[in-house]
Amino acid sequence: MPDYAARRSNMVDNQIRPSDVTKFPIIDAFLAVPRELYVPVEKREAAYMGENVDIGQGRVLLEPRSFAKMLDFANIQPDDLVLDLACGFGYSSAIIARLASTVVAVEEDAAMAQEAQALLSDQGVYNVAVVNAPLTQGAPQHGPYDALVVEGAIETFPPALVDQIKEGGRAVAIFMEGPLGVCRIGYKRDGEITWRHVFNASAPVLPGFEAARVFTL
């Protein structure tokens, strides 16, 4: 029987700590949450590999290094309300739930959303509400949010999501620029988000977040 606890420890020691993620709450969350439960059964052997894990529907579970660094830059506080966008089967929400006061997890795929809520409940994660809705719409009824984390890549960040972030709040996402990707942290000031590049990363672009294509003759 696989020793998943040992694999979690190895993941933290070999993928997360070497990436300069050392904040105790983040390390503790990655050690505590059973990553293997939040992927399809046939993917459990790959759950702790240092790469994005395909979870179906064109979606991935972000590699541990990228996700941990995103949370490090997001600097989530114990009293924060966080929007977790594209939560998949709920792993990211389970991690963030250990850092924040409350998490609103948005998942567009109805089956994934239902499974995420069931898994989180089974694991005793009660400060997460899973919302089945289009990713680009977010969950304005529960906001505004102190922080927003995107579990996948984007090319554009919709204005509707900017409106759901508190003034002074922040967002973190992977932006794909052709074949290359960069993670950016953005801070909302005067109703607009100013982004800055923080590290390189890549993931599939989420549906609805593609940039408009311009064709020229």
Alpha helices in 12-79 (DSSP H): 24-32, 64-74
Tell the residue number behind the tokens 């311009």, with chain if given: 214
CB neighbour list of residue 135: distance below 8 Å, 6 or more residues apart: 85, 86, 106, 107, 108, 206, 207, 208, 209
Three-state SS at 159: helix
pLDDT, residue 216, reads: 54
For strands 165-177 and 145-154, give the pairing: parallel
62 to each of 7, 82, 96, how far by Cα in Å? 17, 18, 14
Instruction: Record the pTM.
Output: 0.95
Tell the residue number behind the tokens 């999501």, with chain if given: 161
- Check residue 205 and report its DSSP letter: B
Residues of the chain with pLDDT under 50: none
Q: Under CATH, which number does the domain 4-200 receive? A: 3.40.50.150
Summarize pLDDT for 108-145 with one digit per residue, the tens: 999 999 999 999 999 999 999 999 999 999 999 999 99
pLDDT, residue 106, reads: 98
